[in-house]
Chains A and B, each alone.
Chain A
């Protein structure tokens, strides 16, 4: 029995690794129990959007705080994680969409949030010169951007290890119990024990919560992404659309990534995903509606990740309401990447019984009861 740990973290995705890093920086000794290898699932294969634009209102304070950490990501993790503040743009194609965007920006400004900004057709065209002429304007977040997801996960893993955290690959948790004031996990890599347990199990987080006697109505989803062959640079910011499931970005190597929430089928028990080509066909239609010149561009790869999705579209972040020494961080509904750096800080504050500076009440696990 290895019981010289201060925290068991289930799940070596970005939230688990960030929790490990922040706990280790605070002088605690966490161990990450990862069933595959760090960054294997959603954390390593997502679109890499570092985005405040369009966030649910409850998430805005966390997202804004996370953005400060992204700007100094090198100081936190020792490398730049491929982060570039290239901006994010959400295009409006109709007057109705434009009016919706205007209302959103005004309401955000009234609440003191100035990061989302409305721009007109002329400025949109200066930002994205090749966009289809019918587009009327957009919301922009000029210093949002994108990062390299797997590099980011690896950077957090390396930094956490350097600070004394332990990360166990292939350590699928077989049983969890609380005895003599310690959480005890039996895994494929042996037994581990610590006074606190952090559930960062992503799409498997609902299963862990249920095992702890705290079931939640989480579903799994498999958002799909496509990559094209290389193209001369033509698109600087990450681009989305108010009226379409589309997220669109050109990497520095010239390839385009196309996503936006078109779904395949997830099979979390087998770590497997299956693509839906009818949905990918609609995804391609969305791209061509906004960039007709890309008709002949070849798609070279498509894939899907496995995501945990909550009924209200926001994650579970907060202490267990039934068990002692448990904190949940899961169910990010396909937009958790940008929040990774801050969730670890929230976990570390809770573990040290420090005051919580961020409003996490909307994310409490008991909200579904």
Chain B
């Protein structure tokens, strides 16, 4: 293998772009690998290519992303889009495929900025054709200007649900109904966290603007909806739920679901890093130091992959990780790193303070965390919540045994979709803590790789049997 690259940043969203910006500004030769065809990550998807009209629809936040792209002009940056990173090892080897060609590079330091994913929202019928993630619909809107044909029903909870609804309306689409599943008691339970939130008033005003936009559109808006089920034969025909003490059947051909985003922990899990279960957002977070550093020498994480604190926090975390990488690579003194970091750290603390309120307010209802028996939880291998509870009765203690008992989490997505849910179901069924029940051991490759790509990786090792 050739000389190591000083720094590899994985992911060109806000965190990765900012990490690369700080590192290259300090003179660190940086390789930026990104899965997408264009920089910006999920939040600023295709930002460099969006027309002024589409930028207007997608809002001022989206325009903010454009400034992040300035780093791409740096002479120290090697930016490679359409790179599917399928393995990162503790020895800092990064394996990736571009245009069907697999390769590996070693780095002195790595900043993982692999981001978030939508929290899956399992309930009976959620796997019917015509049901998809609201984030996925937003992706289509951002990258291709694609709108749902006919009217869409949106169901779930969290700020992105309102944002997507408002963006669909602005783009000329129709919302057949907005079905909010945030449990009625959440706002009371979130009150203790409100004072910290008020330090960041922009979030509240933004929320109010979105709600007003939806009211003007006069889309039916149901609150406190529960007992959801998607009904239909070959595809979804209507959404059934209870709200306001009555049962509702809302006809729909497209149901968009959303209940927040969570860290995508496939890379940090595959690296074997320790993760903590965070009861408020009900999600896992890799254990990191204030610079984003992990227990593995030279491997740091920035942005949503280390816990969800929003796009601005991701930028700030990216800056800290980039500054620290520059310091560790001898391009900044410790004093210079600390001086540059001070205002970033203050801003980050303010961003983080808003989070517990949002996490509590939009905590998903129990029926989507620990769903009814008939709900398909592992879509790849078609394992239901009831089957997983059955495994526990047979002595299954955790997700890794659930793989062996009934293949839960063993399909091509490697448990990315069902992982959170499988851990919660087993914890409830055992009466144990989710932390103790643990998570799937994530096996490489973290993204599927073809036999031809693997075979063509021209390398020879001395390490085979016999």
Contacts and interface: CB of A to CB of B under 8 A. Distances in A.
A128 interface: no
Interface string A68-79: 000000000000
Given A297-B451, A299-B445, A281 B459 contact: yes
Contacts of B452: 284, 288, 295-296
A153 to B, nearest CB: 9
Nearest to B401: A37
A263 B465 contact: yes
A170 to B, nearest CB: 10
B59 interface: no
Nearest to B91: A274
A177 interface: no
A364 B142 CA distance: 69
Interface string A279-293: 111101101100000
Contacts of A169: 397
A143 B459 CA distance: 38
Contacts of A84: none
A344 to B, nearest CB: 20
Contacts, number: 108
Nearest to B93: A277
B404 A245 contact: no
B460 interface: yes
Contact of B444 (A221, A297, A302): A302
Contacts of A300: 411-412, 414, 445, 448
A60 interface: no
Contact of B448 (A154, A274, A277, A298): A298
B412 A279 contact: no
A299 B451 contact: yes
Interface in B414-466: 414, 443-445, 448-452, 454-457, 459-461, 463-466
B414 A301 contact: yes
Given A229-B448, A301-B410, A302-B445, A263 B455 contact: no
A279 B463 contact: yes
B104 interface: yes
B451 A245 contact: no
B272 A297 contact: no
Given A297-B451, A298-B412, A301-B414, A263 B464 contact: yes
A265 B90 CA distance: 13
B404 A39 contact: yes
B90, B394, B454 — most chain A CB neighbours (10 Å):
B454
Q: How large is the interface on A (under 10, 10 to 19, 20 to 34, 35 or more residues)?
A: 35 or more
Interface in A216-231: 221, 223, 227-229
B154 to A, nearest CB: 32
A8 B445 CA distance: 40
B87 interface: yes
A303 B464 contact: no
Contacts of B405: 150, 154
B277 interface: no
B454 A37 contact: no
B95 interface: yes
Interface in A243-291: 245, 261-265, 272, 274-282, 284-285, 287-288
A223 B414 CA distance: 21
A125 interface: no
A142 interface: no
A44 interface: yes
Given A151-B404, A229-B412, A303-B443, A277 B457 contact: yes
A294 interface: yes
B90, B414, B459 — most chain A CB neighbours (10 Å):
B459
B404 A297 contact: no
B401 A299 contact: no
A151, A265, A279 — most chain B CB neighbours (10 Å):
A279
A151 B394 CA distance: 12
Nearest to B104: A277
B463 A295 contact: no
Contacts of B465: 221, 223, 245, 261-263, 334
Given A261-B464, A301-B443, A302-B445, A278 B459 contact: yes
B262 to A, nearest CB: 22
Interface residues of B, number: 36
Contacts of B451: 228, 284, 287-288, 294-299
B229 interface: no
Contacts of A262: 464-465
Given A221-B465, A223-B465, A278-B461, A302 B443 contact: yes
Interface string B373-404: 00000000000000000000011010001001
Nearest to A227: B410
A281 B454 contact: yes
Interface string B84-122: 000101100101000000001000000000000000000
B454 A284 contact: yes
A220 to B, nearest CB: 13
A270 to B, nearest CB: 9
A44 B404 contact: yes
A264 B87 CA distance: 15
B463 A276 contact: yes
A282 B457 CA distance: 9
Nearest to A223: B465
Contacts of A272: 272
Nearest to A157: B395
A275 B449 CA distance: 15
B418 to A, nearest CB: 15
B466 A245 contact: yes
A306 to B, nearest CB: 14
Given A263-B465, A299-B448, A300-B411, A150 B457 contact: no
A154 B396 CA distance: 10
A299 B450 contact: yes
Contacts of B466: 245, 261
Interface string A88-104: 00000000000000000
Contacts of B397: 37, 169
A151 B404 CA distance: 7
Contact of B455 (A265, A284, A302): A284
A151 B272 CA distance: 26
Interface in A140-161: 150-151, 154
A303 B445 CA distance: 9
A169 B459 CA distance: 41
Nearest to B95: A277
A288 B95 CA distance: 21
A262 B452 CA distance: 17
A277 B87 contact: yes
B410 A281 contact: no
Contacts of A288: 451-452, 455
Contacts of A261: 464-466
A233 B417 CA distance: 27
Interface of A: 37, 39, 44, 150-151, 154, 169, 221, 223, 227-229, 245, 261-265, 272, 274-282, 284-285, 287-288, 294-303, 334
Those 9 A-B pairs whose CB atoms lie nearest each other, nearest first? A278-B461, A261-B465, A150-B404, A298-B448, A284-B455, A295-B452, A284-B454, A278-B459, A285-B455
15 contacts: A150-B404, A150-B405, A151-B404, A169-B397, A272-B272, A274-B90, A277-B95, A277-B459, A281-B454, A287-B451, A295-B451, A296-B451, A298-B451, A301-B410, A302-B445
Given A264-B463, A276-B463, A278-B459, 8 more contacts: A150-B404, A245-B465, A277-B87, A281-B455, A296-B451, A301-B444, A302-B443, A302-B445
